[in-house]
A = this chain, B = another copy of it.
Amino acid sequence: MSSSHLGTPKGTRDFSPQTMAKRQYIFNQIRAVFEKFAFLPLETPSMENLSTLTGKYGDEGDQLLYKILDSGDFLKNTSLEDYQGGSGSLLTKIASKGLRYDLTIPFARYVVMNRHHITFPFKRYQMQPVWRADRPQKGRYREFYQCDADVIGTESLLCEAEIVAMINEVFDLLGVRDFSIQINHRKLLNGISEVIGAPGKQAELAVSLDKLSKIGTEKVLEELLDKGFDKEQLDRLVPVFDLSGSWPELRQELEQFLNKSPDGAKGIADLEEIHNLILKLGIKNSSVTVNPTLARGLTYYTGTIFEVTIEDSGVGSVCGGGRYDDLTGIFGMPGVSGVGISFGVDRIYDAMEQIGLFPEQNLILAQVLLIAMDDHSQEFALGLLSRLRSREISAELYPDRAKLKKPLNYANKKGIPTVVLIGSEEIDSGKLTVKHMVSGEQERQSEEQLINFLVQGT
């Protein structure tokens, strides 16, 4: 195979050491917040049975699932008829597993399978890749990481307030200033669809509203017309697009608008309680806005929904979630409410790169490179190498015998700040030649001086 044909599959990427260092930085901050908020780690397999995955993400989701071909002679249980029936007909006979599409459905499966051993409310976090056969574009990959935190087994709105607190803390830690948390409530959407005269059509409404920021008011209204909403209903809907302001103002407007809807009233009451809990938690809530048209695509949400965007980032939502009253019901365990949030590390990375938020130097580096000038010096260098590492100093010995230029170039390219030259003179005198790569300065140090310098930086 010629190297010119090499590549990774479309929508997937390699992560170089430089990129890895920045990604690890994001993962570590998110994990620290999850653990401080007392969420416990969980991991589920990359593959799930297709019976677990299909039908959970809507028709479009089913299309985007990656299916894994059964191993061995995968055609052995198929007939000519299956083949002639087309892909849909053959699929179920040749593929029984698929790749994880999100972390929420596998979590629900885990909870149902382990319900007798789990202490509820169960707070778990999970940081793993998911796969979607989506059309790749800016900020959208076919393999990407989700970092999820969910609480299941309580209806307490404290969980919603804590999610807002976690979002605030994560982006604060990452140094992201201009982020905005939008909140809405699915019952508010139910209320809106009741009030405009289209009760029961909240799902269709939500799917179209979800596109508001992408395609604009005109197109959304056109789409709703196509879906069978009539002119009169849309006329009643349009004022909702203009609702805005701080929560106390907005609440009044919503109370008027949703006047006769019990679902609407429940939505408003929940948002009011969350607003108060956020205040009591002492969170600067300037970043939190209630947006009555926020919808989110996923069908399983029934209560609060969240979405986070970063200004001038060039990517869509970087974080989202919501409350689901009956997620485990699909697996035979009804009536367990939960709420969760998912951070999209790949988009957060893209946004931080775009804005220039990564600390200058966070690549894991060797602190020191040893260079043995001849065969005789190698023995001493090997001993020194071990002694440095036993002091938890990240160190390496240039492995090849080469002119000085090559190992110095190696240190430079790798960003190793200190180089130690070891020859017979250094061994005899007990004074090592220490070269500081940034300044180019060179000095003679004893081993003890070198270790002190590397450990304490003095």
A198: B residues at CB distance < 8 A? none
Closest CB of chain B to A383's CB: distance in Å?
6
- A24 contacts B by Cβ under 8 Å: yes
Report the Cα distance A393→B20, complex, angstroms: 28
- A200 contacts B by Cβ under 8 Å: no
A90: B residues at CB distance < 8 A? 75
Do B14 and A110 have beta carbons less than 8 Å apart?
Answer: yes
- A137 contacts B by Cβ under 8 Å: no
Do A17 and B42 have beta carbons less than 8 Å apart?
Answer: yes
A364: B residues at CB distance < 8 A? 35, 40-41
- A177 contacts B by Cβ under 8 Å: no
- A448 contacts B by Cβ under 8 Å: no
Q: Do A1 and B35 form a contact, CB below 8 Å, given A45-B143, A413-B119?
A: no
Interface residues of A in 314-372 (CB under 8 A from B): 330-333, 363-366
Do B3 and A112 have beta carbons less than 8 Å apart?
Answer: yes
Q: Do A41 and B21 form a contact, CB below 8 Å, given A47-B143, A48-B9, A49-B7?
A: yes
Sort chain A's interface into a size bin.
Answer: 35 or more
Q: Is the interface of A mostly helix, strand, loop or mixed?
A: mixed
Report the Cα distance A334→B277, complex, angstroms: 64
Do B68 and A43 have beta carbons less than 8 Å apart?
Answer: no
- State which of B45, B389, B410 has its C-beta within 8 Å of the C-beta of A13: B45
**A 55-87 to B, binary, CB cutoff 8 A, 1 in contact else 0:** 000000001101111011111100010010011
Interface residues of A in 161-177 (CB under 8 A from B): 161, 165
**A 88-116 to B, binary, CB cutoff 8 A, 1 in contact else 0:** 00110011110100000000011011100
Q: From A123-131, A204-212, A435-443, A450-458, give the one contacting chain B.
A: A123-131
The residue in A43, A121, A124, A363 that gathers the most chain B C-beta atoms within 10 A of its C-beta is A43
Q: From A152-160, A248-256, A419-427, give the one contacting chain B.
A: A152-160
Do B38 and A395 have beta carbons less than 8 Å apart?
Answer: yes
A–B Cβ pairs within 8 angstroms, 30 of them: A1-B330, A1-B331, A3-B113, A3-B331, A5-B51, A8-B44, A9-B45, A12-B45, A14-B45, A16-B114, A17-B40, A17-B42, A20-B41, A24-B41, A35-B394, A37-B396, A38-B365, A38-B366, A40-B363, A67-B68, A67-B69, A69-B69, A69-B91, A72-B133, A73-B86, A75-B83, A119-B413, A158-B399, A161-B382, A281-B386
Residues of A whose CB lies within 8 Å of any CB of B are 1-9, 12-17, 20-21, 23-24, 35-38, 40-49, 51-52, 63-64, 66-69, 71-76, 80, 83, 86-87, 90-91, 94-97, 99, 109-110, 112-114, 119, 121, 123-124, 129, 131, 133, 142-143, 151, 154-156, 158-159, 161, 165, 277, 280-283, 330-333, 363-366, 378-379, 382-383, 385-386, 389, 392-397, 399-400, 409-410, 413-414
